[in-house]
Amino acid sequence: GKPIAIGGSLGRGDATARGAMLAIIEAAKHLNVDLAAATVAVQGYGNAGSYIAMLMNDILGSKIVAVSDSKGGIYSKQGLDPHKVLQHKAGTGSVINFPGAENISNEELLELEVTVLCPSALENVITIGNVPKIRAKIVAALANGPITPEADKILVDNGVFIIPDFLCNAGGVIVSYFEGVQNAYNYYWDEEEVHERLGKKMAKAFQDVLSESLKRKVSMRVAAYIVAVARVAEA
């Protein structure tokens, strides 16, 4: 997205994470999961990772129990304050050694028993090697390609609900599209309207994929491909 001063859209900064949060809300409705009582682990504490932690903590009341970056991770059963963790990272260069938290490895973070796991950093972090140890109920793939295809199938067989990457992280692309729409009409929406429109788009996208998944008895990833290919064919 462009800077606001030259025609950028409000709401672009946290759009990827906000879109992911909206997808997680839809998944929780489908699974009958109470996100206010949920625990969350976030791998990667850059733009998407730090925002998803803050949004889920601030808006949904979820407990952020673990976060990590390239140097390692931190864990607190009582929950972390994601804003203070971000300040700590800005000051020290990493989330590790955060006061009151236990240092853990990135591998250990992925294997925690949490409600929602958000791989928000690298690709291929959930593989055939560690997939039997993944204990999250929902895996929300904010990074591109964090789950290998073989691991994806095993996770589904193990009853883990996966929100595939190109659905989960679509919020950023959607708000960039909104920017183009606003530029074309030379009419700019306030942040509340951007959030509202993003909410509708993400909810519809999720429900389209979910209904395809249930109808055809395929995984969310396969269903997302089917929906995407059908839309291209219709275009």
Residues of the domain holding 206: 4-11+172-234
Rounded to whole angstroms, the Cα distance separating 55 from 126 reads 24
Determine the Cα angle at 66 with ends 61 and 67, to 5°.
105
pLDDT at 194: 94
Structure tokens at 49: 């990772």
- Report how far residue 198's alpha carbon sits from residue 15's, in angstroms, rounded to the nearest whole number: 8
The DSSP symbol for 26 reads H
Let me know whether 230 and 151 are in one domain.
Answer: no
Q: Residue 35 has what DSSP assignment?
A: G
Q: Which residues of 101-111 are buried (b: 16+ CB within 10 A; e: fewer)?
A: bebbebebbbb
Residues of the chain with pLDDT under 70: 235
Distance CA 139, CA 152 (A): 10
C-alpha 221/C-alpha 162 separation (Å) is: 8
Residues 80 and 150 in one domain: yes
According to the model, what pLDDT value does residue 232 have? 84
When divided into structural domains, the chain yields a total of: 2
Beta 161-163 vs 72-75: how paired, if at all?
unpaired
pLDDT at position 202 is 96
AA letter at 116: V
Residues 109 and 134 in one domain: yes
Per-residue pLDDT, 231: 81
Q: What is the CATH number of the domain that holds 81?
A: 3.40.50.720
Given 168, 184, 204, the domain boundary residue is 168
- pLDDT the model gives residue 97: 98
How far apart are the C-alpha atoms of 149 and 192, rounded to whole Å? Answer: 37
pLDDT in tens, 162-202: 999 999 999 999 998 899 999 999 999 999 999 999 999 99
Determine phi and psi for 95, rounding to 5 degrees.
-80, -20
pLDDT of residue 234: 82
Structure tokens at 66: 């673990």
- Please count the residues of the chain: 235
Residues 163 and 180 in one domain: no
DSSP E strands, 120-174 = 138-140, 161-163
What are the beta bridge partners of residue 72?
69
Kindly state the helix (H) or strand (E) to which residue 40 belongs, with its residue range: strand 39-43
